[in-house]
């Protein structure tokens, strides 16, 4: 039993896709969330910059003596996880392993599409993860240049002209490709899920890296008897380096309840 909080780290609001699942399956756990919205998109940065900013974000969460940190960000998981583990003793759970496992389980055609930020795709981490699970898989990857920023700015709903145009532009390569599963390797992308389904078809199974990572974290804590006891308070602390109002507004919509207060940091 461990009543310390769980830390959740993302470059912005994408990690809410993980936080939502944590709230559902581990309601008694305390969660401390940090989204570095002011400095996002991490997907437009060099590996050194991603590592540097991830170290700062993790150090902030560490200052609360968290028991584990969920790297609820594909770009951090693929580019900075090793750097974080080299510096901090706290366990870090990234999104890659759980997402690859779920995608490999889901596909019948053995053909999987992977979309993520350009540095995540360039790292080859998703491809290696999938190949390691099943050598017979065909994997088509695509780095989406501005999905994360677009989502962060509130463009993600069906009917949003920009979101629909960008989805058509970026995902054209998957039309007729034969994939039956699409791994959303950036945690911002599930907010685009309906727009993606509208374009590619709802028969293509979408796997959310953020959702799978949250489940993996819950399993990790359970196996090690690190969950809070029955008296856990389910406290939440929400921090952003960006605009607190924007963060709070999107979080309210996405989580389905009002979060207060959002605090500004970094
Ligand atoms: N949520 C981040 C990810 O999963 C977005 C990265 C970005 O800031 O570009 O990759």
CATH of the domain at 113: 3.40.50.1860
Per-residue model confidence (pLDDT) at position 94: 98
Same domain, 141 and 247: no
Same domain, 161 and 198: yes
Same domain, 183 and 108: yes
Same domain, 187 and 233: no
Alpha-carbon span 33 to 195, nearest angstrom: 27
Same domain, 35 and 118: no
For residue 188 and ligand 1, the question of a CB distance below 6 A is answered with yes
The answer to whether the beta carbons of residues 146 and 104 sit under 8 Å apart is no
Domain end point (choices 175, 194, 210): 210
Q: Does residue 124 fall inside a structural domain? A: yes
For residue 94 and ligand 1, the question of a CB distance below 6 A is answered with no
| 3-state per-residue secondary structure call for 99-115 | HHHHHHHHCCCCEEEEE
Residue 117 phi, psi dihedral angles, 5° rounding: -70, 160
Question: Which is catalytic among the residues 51, 73, 100, 144?
Answer: 73
Q: Does residue 104 fall inside a structural domain? A: yes
Termini Cα distance of the chain: 31
Same domain, 37 and 84: yes
Q: Does residue 135 fall inside a structural domain? A: yes
Same domain, 132 and 168: yes
Per-residue model confidence (pLDDT) at position 233: 81
Per-residue model confidence (pLDDT) at position 4: 96
Q: Does residue 154 fall inside a structural domain? A: yes
State how many domains the chain has.
Answer: 2
Same domain, 260 and 223: yes
Report residue 242 CA to chain centroid gap.
18
pLDDT by residue, tens only, the chain of 266 residues: 999 999 999 999 999 999 999 999 999 999 999 999 999 999 999 999 999 999 999 999 999 999 999 999 999 999 999 999 999 999 999 999 999 999 999 999 999 999 999 999 999 999 999 999 999 999 999 999 999 999 999 999 999 999 999 999 999 999 999 999 999 999 999 999 999 999 999 999 999 999 999 999 999 999 999 999 876 689 999 999 999 999 998 888 888 888 877 888 86
Q: Does residue 253 fall inside a structural domain? A: yes
Alpha-carbon span 149 to 240, nearest angstrom: 15
Same domain, 55 and 81: yes
Same domain, 107 and 20: no
Report residue 22 CA to chain centroid gap.
12
Atom 2 (ligand 1): residue with closest C-alpha? 73
Same domain, 100 and 206: yes
Domain end point (choices 210, 227, 249): 210
Per-residue model confidence (pLDDT) at position 255: 87
Domain end point (choices 210, 228, 252): 210
51 tagged catalytic: no
Per-residue model confidence (pLDDT) at position 257: 84
73 tagged catalytic: yes
Q: What angle do CA 169, 157, 151 make, to 5 degrees?
A: 70
Alpha-carbon span 40 to 149, nearest angstrom: 7
Alpha-carbon span 172 to 61, nearest angstrom: 39
Per-residue model confidence (pLDDT) at position 175: 96
Q: Does residue 1 fall inside a structural domain? A: no
User: What tokens were used for 165?
Assistant: 């145009």
* Segments forming the whole domain that contains residue 60: 6-94+211-264
Q: Which atom of ligand 1 is nearest to the CA of 75?
A: 10
For residue 41 and ligand 1, the question of a CB distance below 6 A is answered with yes
Same domain, 104 and 206: yes
Q: Does residue 39 fall inside a structural domain? A: yes
């Amino acid at each position: 039993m461990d009543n310390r909080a769980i830390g959740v780290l993302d470059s912005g609001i994408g990690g809410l896709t993980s936080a939502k699942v944590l709230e559902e399956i581990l309601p008694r756990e305390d969660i401390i969330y940090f989204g570095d919205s002011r400095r996002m998109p991490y997907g437009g940065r060099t590996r050194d910059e991603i590592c540097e900013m991830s170290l700062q974000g993790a150090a902030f969460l560490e200052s609360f003596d968290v028991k584990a940190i969920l790297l609820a960000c594909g770009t951090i998981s693929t580019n900075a996880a090793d750097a974080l583990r080299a510096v901090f003793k706290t366990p870090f759970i990234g999104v890659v392993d759980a997402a690859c496992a779920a995608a490999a389980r889901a596909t019948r055609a053995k053909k999987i599409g992977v979309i993520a930020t350009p540095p995540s795709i360039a790292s080859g981490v998703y491809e290696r993860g999938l190949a390691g699970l099943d050598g017979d898989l065909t994997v088509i990857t695509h780095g989406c240049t501005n999905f994360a920023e677009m989502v962060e700015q509130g463009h993600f709903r069906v009917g949003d002209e920009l979101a629909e145009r960008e989805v058509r532009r970026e995902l054209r390569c998957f039309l007729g490709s034969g994939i039956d599963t699409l791994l959303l390797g950036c945690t911002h992308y599930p907010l685009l899920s309906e727009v993606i389904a509208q374009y590619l078809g709802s028969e293509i199974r979408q796997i959310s890296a953020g959702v799978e990572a949250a489940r993996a974290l819950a399993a990790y804590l359970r196996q090690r008897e690190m969950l809070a006891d029955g008296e856990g308070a389910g406290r939440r602390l929400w921090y952003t380096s960006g605009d607190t109002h924007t963060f709070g507004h999107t979080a309210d919509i996405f989580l389905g309840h009002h979060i207060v207060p959002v605090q500004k940091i970094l």
